[in-house]
Structure 1
Amino acid sequence: MSLDNLTEHEKAFYDDGFRLGQEAAKHAAEEKVFLSFIGQMYSAIDQLIDSILGMARRQNIPVDCHKGCEYCCHQAVFANSYELHYLGNFINNKFYTPDKDAVIKRAIEKNKHTKKLSEQEVLSYKSPCPLLKEGSCSAYEARPMACRIYLSMKLASCVEFFKNPDNPNSFPQLLEFPLMAGRMMNEGFTAALREKEIEIAEFRMEDGLATMLKYGANR
């Protein structure tokens, strides 16, 4: 990615992520400290989104996301290795063994299907996230960036996308600013880690969960 082509706002969020990534890279061998910088990045995005939601309410701009609405939890989610490390650590420390085993089982079962699909088929495929439980995310506090920044302005657009994912004219109507901010912070964080030769890879959620939880959390 060329930094020269970024807008002022994109560059600002990229730089914030890069600075956090630089600090995280200094503590790559200290798991707790390393993960704390990922937590700081998530906290920054969460605070930004809270501000955006407050502004949206004041300006009567609809945001239809709420607990119990799970349409987006049935579509493809991608997360990179350090996000999955953070998520796996949360699950290992917060989940009881039966709940963790249930997530692993659901992740393995979903991955058996999605790993056979083409990239386009994966994007159109609808199936519950392995972390979805009774209409809510069971690891909400540790959910990856892609889930945090997905804010719908119109529930009907999510329903239509859920029911007709192959329709090229069907897509959720999302708030653009948090999508940009979260993506750029992640890009900056990743770039800083790679600068220190820390390997980063991207996974489908079910693939990453199955690997991370079954074989241990590795960056």
Structure 2
Amino acid sequence: MSLVALKDILGELSEAMQENCSHLPQNRTPTMVYALAKGAADIHDGAVNSLQPSLPPTKEIACAAGCSHCCHLPVVTEAITVLRLAHYIRTTFSPEAIEALRTRIAARQALLLPLESAARRHFRQACPLLENGRCTAYEARPLICRSFNSFDEAACRTEILEKANDFYMEGYPLPFEIGSALTRGMVDGLSSAGYRDAQLDLAAALGVALDRADAAEVWLAGEDIFADSLVA
């Protein structure tokens, strides 16, 4: 497949996501919000699987179950993804597991909030959703988590955990390009529908969404519940 053809496909994916999100005002329900976020994830995974035979990785991808170096990076995601994730947690986690998760989120925020913005870029703490090296909400994970990958596990460990560097990790670009295209479409579609879907710190925003059983409803009504979760 040529780069021109890939660019066209990415454009089509972005436009499709934009169109899907633009219809939210006609169906302002939490169910629609969750469906839009799940749809984006399903489109991402399907597109990667479909295009990979034509655009295979140039090296073996090092990512595997139990490898969680990148899960120590701050994750930036979108409002509808957070709302879907909170719904997934409420409907699949036990009450004890939810309370333990909220405790981990609060502990993380206590360490992060006193830091200046520059220091936050180098903040390294396990994602609150991580347990025993595995994501407890893997099915509902954000697009960026579906997109990130690496050809070198040792480099991830060194650069992310040991040095806490700003870095570009060499990996398979296809998932990232697809995720970026869908995110652009999502943000543009929600903007045209009158919703602000800015970049949010996943852990901070998830804490807000878990604290409010009506999070999706009030977000749909226009309340800026994630104002304190914005990433500069």
TM-score above 0.5, yes or no:
yes
Within a 5 Å distance, the mapping from 1:62-211 to structure 2 comes to: 62-162=60-160, 163-166=162-165, 170-211=167-208
Structure 2: unaligned runs, 5 residues or longer: 1-6, 220-232
Amino acid at match of 1:129: C
Cα RMSD of the aligned pairs, angstroms, is 2.1
TM-score normalized with structure 2 length? 0.81
Structure 1 Cα separation of the partners of residues 57 and 111 of structure 2: 43
The alpha carbon displacement at 1:143 in A equals 0.7
Summarize deviations over 1:156-215 as a string: whole Å, max 9, x none.
Answer: 22112121123x5x5422222221211121111121111121232332122112111112
Give the partner amino acid of 1:137: C
Structure 1 counterpart of 2:26, one-letter code: K
Mapped partners of 1:156, 1:54: distance in 2: 27
Larger CA deviation: 146-155 vs 119-128: 119-128
> How far apart, in 1, do the equivalents of 2:59 and 2:73 lie?
25
- Where structure 1 has 5 or more consecutive residues not aligned to the other structure, the ranges are 1-6
Deviates more, 1:191-200 or 1:93-102: 191-200
SS in 2 for 1:67: coil
The 2-side partners of 1:172 and 1:119 are apart by 22
- What is the one-letter code of the residue matched to 1:81? A
Q: Could you report, residue by residue, the CA deviation over 1:66-111 in whole angstroms, capped at 9, with x for unpaired residues?
A: 1100101111101121111010010011110010011111111101
Give 3-state SS (helix, strand or coil) of 2:121's partner.
Answer: helix
> Is the Cα contact below 8 Å between 2:79 and 2:198 reproduced in 1?
yes
| 1:213 corresponding residue in structure 2 | 210
CA distance in structure 2 between the aligned counterparts of 1:161 and 1:45, rounded to whole angstroms: 27
Aligned residues: 209
* 1:11-90 map, 5 Å: 11-28=11-28, 30-51=29-50, 61-90=59-88
Percent pairwise identity: 19
**Contact 2:74–2:123, Cα closer than 8 Å, also in 1:** yes
Alpha carbons 2:57, 2:172 under 8 Å: kept: no
Does the aligned pair in 1 maintain the 2:22–2:189 contact within 8 Å? yes
Q: How many angstroms does 1:48 deviate by?
A: 2.2
Q: Secondary structure at the match of 2:105?
A: helix
Q: Deviations over 1:110-166 (max 9, x none)?
A: 012212223332221111000001110000011111111111122122112121123
Q: Which amino acid aligns with 1:158?
A: C
SS of match in other structure, 1:124: coil
In structure 2, do the counterparts of structure 1 residues 118 and 49 end up closer, same or farther at CA, with 3 Å as the change threshold?
Answer: farther
- Which stretch shows the higher mean deviation, 114-123 or 143-152? 114-123
CA distance in 2, matches of 1:54, 1:11: 20
Cα distance in structure 1, aligned partners of 2:26 and 2:111: 38
* In structure 1, distance between residues paired with 2:212 and 2:97: 17
